[in-house]
Structure 1
């Protein structure tokens, strides 16, 4: 018997903390993808895209990480979009074919990818908005998988916002910040 058990000072584990990580993380990541996809289906909008998978993974597996927070998620993806767009237009890569559909990596697309990832990392660092999945978003733009236009920015950011809101709520539940903190204080 431990000292905590003998003295009655052992902390009770509340529901989220009692669920093993091996159950919680896949369940939450899957639910986040399902939520974004379902809302997108209902709205007839493609609000789910590849970079959201790593974002959901990060929020579910490492909820205490600064990179998993709402601010980092939203600002990180916004920076990734901006850096990707800036690199594409600055280097004229918008005239080159999309890499994944053409299976042709051109110099402008390569250099746009290099510049976009570097800018995303630099801006994320400067704004304290590091979010590694944003590097995937910036590459989707730089390599031509996402069209460099305002409609694409809106589509991506709606998906990011849906995931960021729900993901941050579940992240906070997991680490005991909400709603349990108010009840315990």
Structure 2
């Protein structure tokens, strides 16, 4: 009985990052799951090779952002903006990381958009042109600094860190997107991209959460072990 117990080792859950992957993260798990679903055994043998992962990243990036850009063209609305790019990469590089969860993503971008707009109100820049066109003024400097500081602080308070939200708040405070209706569309784009991530990661068999981040056992947590039957 003792020998049987010593030979048994716990399985490594799929949600944990495999540090042995060639580029880290969980992209290998996502690609492997998709290839298993679409039944491509010849490509499945090479799923962990860097060139294959690079090709997958290229195709996935084109599709995820291309869909949002096409929607922007069809509706003549700002459904595409720079901070969607790093969010999309997080979704498929480390999908089970807390920062990539729907909760952190949506709350993070919402905080960034609101903080950016509040900074425009405080500095009287709601009607000013984009900083890239009219230049950077001292009120714009204050708006940018205030927006990023608020975004970082509030995300920490809400326990919802999402690094790309730092870019979102600067997009607003620099006047690139500054109208309230544009901010509503901005959040709509975030939700649509999150739904893409949910569909693709679930298709790949990745336990991508519906809302809250996946809780990993903390260091020092006591894990109850069931007795091994002889």
Question: Which category describes the TM-score, using the shorter chain as reference length?
Answer: 0.7 to 0.9
Unaligned runs of 5+ in 1: 1-9, 179-185
| C-alpha separation in 1, matches of 2:54 and 2:204 | 13
Question: Is residue 63–residue 175 contact of structure 1 (8 Å, CA) maintained in 2?
Answer: no
In the superposition, relative to structure 1, how do residues 175 and 99 fare at CA in structure 2: closer, same or farther (>3 Å)? farther
Corresponding residue for residue 34 of structure 2: 16
| C-alpha separation in 2, matches of 1:175 and 1:100 | 43
Q: How many residues align?
A: 166
Unaligned runs of 5+ in 2: 1-10, 13-28, 36-43, 209-230
Secondary structure in 2 matching 1:94: coil
Corresponding residue for residue 123 of structure 1: 154
Corresponding residue for residue 27 of structure 1: 59
2:81 equivalent among 45, 49, 57: 49
Mark the structure with the bigger radius of gyration. Answer: 2
Alignment partner of 1:140 is 2:158: no
Secondary structure in 2 matching 1:101: helix
Question: Is residue 119–residue 146 contact of structure 2 (8 Å, CA) maintained in 1?
Answer: yes
- Show the 5 A alignment for 1:144-183: 144-147=175-178, 149-174=179-204, 176-177=206-207
In the superposition, relative to structure 1, how do residues 176 and 45 fare at CA in structure 2: closer, same or farther (>3 Å)? same
**CA RMSD across the alignment:** 2.5
Corresponding residue for residue 75 of structure 1: 107
Secondary structure in 1 matching 2:108: helix
| C-alpha separation in 2, matches of 1:88 and 1:112 | 6
**Larger helix percent:** 1
| C-alpha separation in 2, matches of 1:15 and 1:128 | 30
| Structure 1 residue ranges, 4+ long, deviating more than 6 angstroms after superposition | none
1:108 equivalent among 139, 146, 151: 139
Per-residue deviation, 1:96: 4.6
| C-alpha separation in 1, matches of 2:182 and 2:94 | 29
